[in-house]
Structure 1
């Protein structure tokens, strides 16, 4: 690629939780746009996380490199402040104090989410553990990474969530976690604005992650066959779509105009013109309005500060 095709050449990014899913998609697309990407998570070639899935940060790094970026995988447990401090110290030392993009995409909450029971029938320890895994990790990471951005008076923080409205997400602790992540973006935006640093939340639509493909019994090559099980799957999107949305934000010199907002792939593609990996432009909100709103009600207006 030419420098023009790599608008993020020279950019330093940290994607926390870049092992799989949306985090991996963001890491790869930031790399494709020319960034140097520190990709972190607990699943590495040396040791799997408790999720016991096969994806690793090294595999993400290989995809970043293949896309034309520079990848630096660092196994990090973002629930451990000392590990995050060491990670940020390493970035500061290796990049002369520079960090341009921080993506908080740590999740790992799928096995902790109870979709069947109300709060008063759920296991409390499991629910609180989900909050620690999905929210506290973001707080810890921002606490140590933000000083690099504040010192340079520039940068972008991206909080990855599910949904950009106040709509209830179907499970108490899941909803609390995903809503809290939006508030993390709003709160960081308020405190970072005087320092020229933007913070936003972003959601994909129906994300076709590795785990989702596995659950539907398909691969990315024949993913459309999954629509036989759930017709809404035909309107899903790849992690690359989310990644391209984040890369577009990171390359937007006017991104401060969006600080504090909860954004979505289905709104950003219209503004920036990016496509999914297959050249399409999925629009989950449009599909919801056409096929789901009558049964479930409107998706809702995006949250704004």
Structure 2
């Protein structure tokens, strides 16, 4: 089967008329902690979503990777080099089973088709990761609410809030069939770090809403033995961020000259490793309803970034806000 054949529509059919999926955990290592588990990572095309999907696969999970950019169609972001097929292939290479399904999570019918496919092939959903975003290009820094174009602002809320609500509403009935299910809201910041306003009115709402979603869903899922958390990366060296600053994964340290926080930046793998460790933790329910950053997950589970470090940019920022003069080297 060619790489192009591996993209499926939400009805579960590949380009050659066959289906992908089958037994949960097929192709995963027998000793992998998430073998037999089925995950849906909504917004797995690039950045944190892609890394989370790959690390769940590395732990043995079957991972459905959804998004709008495929090898045949590019989303409004115009980043043709990052596709859901590419993510699925990385999941396979990591030891899991990757299944790419093209879906716009603002379209309930498409999401229903994705969830129906998972139900048909596995009868279960163990991990739901809401990572849909794509609104960075809509962010106007230093603006007042009434100075932001209304359509731009509402689009940001559609991408960062409405997509998450639609996906959870449709996917949770499958996830709660079994106790132990995990819902993850990926956002920017935690309850602790976001006490002050963020960037602009619409961005603040878009990034704080998933934190409240995790808190509210945690209450509702508790009696069913399931868990909801919000997670955030720190200063993320995503593909989009590196391109924006004209940097690469090889020379990103040069960005420190213009922005000191680059010295505490992290690769997407860092959050992916931390989240995969949380998903495999039999005691993960102790985090129910909470919002956690990548540095906290790394300390708790002993994971590191690609270079063996444990960056903690949020800890550094909080120390700065408290009036201190922290040394960056103490937070990496």
Whether the 8 Å contact between 2:275 and 2:297 is mirrored in structure 1 is no
Cα deviation 1:162-206 (Å, max 9, x = unaligned): 000323212110001110111111111111111111000011110
Whether the 8 Å contact between 2:269 and 2:305 is mirrored in structure 1 is yes
Whether the 8 Å contact between 2:65 and 2:88 is mirrored in structure 1 is yes
Counterpart of 1:101 in structure 2 is 127
Q: Cα 1:83–1:277, aligned 2, differ >3 Å: closer, same or farther? A: same
**Alignment pair present for 1:75 and 2:75:** no
Counterpart of 2:258 in structure 1 is 229
Shift of 1:229: 2.3
Counterpart of 2:90 in structure 1 is 63
Q: Cα 1:225–1:286, aligned 2, differ >3 Å: closer, same or farther? A: same
**Higher RCO (CA-CA < 8 Å; seq separation 6+):** 1
**Alignment pair present for 1:35 and 2:64:** no
Counterpart of 1:46 in structure 2 is 72
**Alignment pair present for 1:91 and 2:115:** no
**Alignment pair present for 1:154 and 2:183:** no
Q: 1:215 aligns with which of 244, 254, 279?
A: 244
Runs of 4 or more above 6 Å deviation: none
SS for the counterpart of 2:230 is strand
Whether the 8 Å contact between 2:105 and 2:111 is mirrored in structure 1 is yes
Cα deviation 1:54-112 (Å, max 9, x = unaligned): 211111112112211110000000000000000000000011x1111000000011122
Shift of 1:215: 1.6
Whether the 8 Å contact between 1:118 and 1:172 is mirrored in structure 2 is yes
Counterpart of 1:263 in structure 2 is 292
Separation in 1, partners of 2:107, 2:315: 40
Give TM-score scaled by structure 1 length.
0.92
Separation in 2, partners of 1:149, 1:167: 34
Whether the 8 Å contact between 1:216 and 1:229 is mirrored in structure 2 is no
Cα deviation 1:205-244 (Å, max 9, x = unaligned): 1011001111221111222122222221011001101101
Separation in 1, partners of 2:74, 2:313: 33
Shift of 1:3: 3.7
Give TM-score scaled by structure 2 length.
0.85
Counterpart of 1:138 in structure 2 is 164
SS for the counterpart of 1:206 is coil
Counterpart of 1:287 in structure 2 is 316
Shift of 1:152: 1.5
Q: 2:306 aligns with which of 270, 273, 277?
A: 277
Counterpart of 1:303 in structure 2 is none
SS for the counterpart of 2:164 is helix
Shift of 1:154: 2.5
Counterpart of 1:301 in structure 2 is none
Separation in 2, partners of 1:177, 1:248: 26
Counterpart of 2:146 in structure 1 is 120
List runs of 5+ in structure 1 lacking aligned partners: 297-305
SS for the counterpart of 2:256 is helix
Q: 2:46 aligns with which of 9, 20, 31?
A: 20
SS for the counterpart of 2:177 is helix
Q: 2:219 aligns with which of 190, 197, 203?
A: 190
Whether the 8 Å contact between 1:149 and 1:155 is mirrored in structure 2 is yes
Separation in 2, partners of 1:295, 1:122: 34
- Equivalenced residues, count: 294
SS for the counterpart of 2:305 is coil
Separation in 1, partners of 2:299, 2:169: 33
